[in-house]
Amino acid sequence: MATAQTGKGDLHPLADIDRVIHAPARLMVLTYLYVVESAEFVFLMRLTGLTWGNLSSHLSKLEEAGYVAIEKEFRGKKPHTMLRLTDEGRAAFREYRQRLKQVLDDLPD
């Protein structure tokens, strides 16, 4: 990010990339939440392979950024922590994907 180039292979858009999303673990979480309506904490933990504490801390960051909504649901007497992408999170993920794709597509072979 220190030296930006111009023209074909311009890496400038990388500097503007959303760093909240760019961390691999958070990118994984957002990708899975993007393709489902909502998922329980445990489900995401299983799918991403993250530990409980790790996933918790990444989710806190995503919630702070307004990208993920965390809701407690009760099924019978059991609480379930359900997670879903907010509209803002969905738009941010779409933009991130677009931007990254553009940068990677523009790179010379």
Interface positions with other proteins (CB under 8 A): 24, 27-28, 31-32, 34-47, 52, 56, 75, 79-82, 97, 100-101, 104
Q: Which is nearer to other proteins, 7 or 14 (CB)?
A: 14
Q: Which is nearer to other proteins, 7 or 53 (CB)?
A: 53
The partner residues of 74 in beta bridges, in order of sequence, read: 79
Q: Which is nearer to other proteins, 16 or 71 (CB)?
A: 71
Question: Distance (Å, rounded) from C-alpha 40 to C-alpha 64?
Answer: 19
| Least spacing, CB of residue 46 vs other proteins, in Å | 6
- Burial (CB < 10 A; 0-12, 13-18, 19+), residue 63, is middle
Mapped onto helix, strand or coil, the DSSP state of residue 106 is: helix
